[in-house]
């Protein structure tokens, strides 16, 4: 991590990824524990979760962890933490169907949750360009929430392309970011297939597993 832990005091961090199933929830767990171990009170927010049957599985898991790490978060509810829950496993814009996703409500929820913590971890849905509304994408929520940006990238074959494309999208919106590689796919070949270029291109690599 480039910045000192205290830099994130009273800030929020938006966790996005190159695509779905890259490890955003795993990353949220790692960062929640990392900041809690550093002495900061942590919070968690997932604006939208899709594929919800009985309850939001990712949001519920992180909410329970957050309450363990920060007793103040017992004052909030699961619906505060995951305000929009949709059954269809699709982009929020599609999954919401007739429900209007209110960006102002999300901003208010974020502000409310941030009052209970020193650093708020915000988990996006899918990748950066997943639509929330017709003209608002996950990447836009980073600026809307005035958050720092952490990009999670995969270790699988194709990760070079996925990583560079996502970074181009962040740079095109003038979003400062850090990226972390999640070593969970093609890990036996990553050092030979993908790491040489990524290391030469970026000079230094951050891995979630090292947190």
Instruction: Render pLDDT for 50-62 as a digit per residue (tens, 0 to 9).
Output: 999 999 999 999 9
Q: What is the pTM of this model?
A: 0.97
Binding site per annotation, positions for Mg(2+):
25, 72, 123
Distance CA 173, CA 143 (A): 9
Mean pLDDT of 169-193: 97
Closest CA to 132 of 119, 118, 147, 142: 142
pLDDT of residue 1: 83
Q: Is residue 24 part of a domain?
A: yes
Q: Is residue 55 part of a domain?
A: yes
Share of the chain above pLDDT 70, in %: 100
DSSP-based three-state secondary structure for 182: strand
Closest CA to 67 of 3, 117, 7: 117
Mean pLDDT of 61-80: 97
Distance CA 124, CA 91 (A): 11
Q: Is residue 3 part of a domain?
A: no
Binding site per annotation, positions:
21-26, 50, 72, 123-126, 210
| 104-147 tens-digit pLDDT | 999 999 999 999 999 999 999 999 999 999 999 999 999 999 99
Q: Is residue 36 part of a domain?
A: yes
Q: Is residue 4 part of a domain?
A: no
The CATH number that applies at residue 151 is 3.40.50.300
Catalytic positions are 46
Q: Is residue 59 part of a domain?
A: yes
Identify the domain containing residue 54 by its residue range: 9-210
- pLDDT(2) > 90: no
Q: Is the separation of the CB atoms in 185 and 194 below 8 Å?
A: no
For the chain, how many structural domains are there in total?
A: 1
Q: Is residue 19 part of a domain?
A: yes
């Amino acid at each position: 991590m480039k910045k000192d832990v205290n830099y994130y005091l009273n800030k929020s961090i938006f966790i996005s990824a190159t695509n779905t199933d890259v490890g955003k929830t795993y990353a949220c767990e790692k960062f929640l524990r990392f900041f809690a171990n550093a002495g900061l009170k942590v919070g968690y927010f997932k604006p939208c979760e899709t594929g919800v049957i009985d309850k939001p599985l990712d949001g519920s898991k992180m909410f329970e962890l957050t309450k363990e790490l920060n007793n103040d978060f017992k004052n909030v509810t699961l619906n505060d933490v995951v305000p929009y829950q949709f059954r269809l496993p699709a982009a929020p814009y599609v999954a919401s169907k007739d429900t209007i996703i209110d960006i102002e409500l999300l901003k208010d929820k974020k502000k409310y949750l941030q009052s209970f913590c020193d650093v708020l971890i915000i988990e996006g849905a899918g990748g950066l360009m997943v639509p929330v509304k017709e003209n608002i994408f996950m990447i836009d929520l980073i600026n809307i929430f005035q958050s720092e940006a952490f990009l999670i990238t995969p270790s699988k074959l194709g990760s070079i392309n996925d990583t560079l494309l996502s970074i181009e999208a962040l740079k095109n919106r003038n979003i400062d970011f850090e990226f972390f590689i999640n070593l969970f796919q093609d890990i036996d070949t990553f050092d030979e297939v993908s790491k040489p270029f990524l290391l030469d291109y970026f000079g230094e690599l951050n891995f979630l597993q090292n947190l």
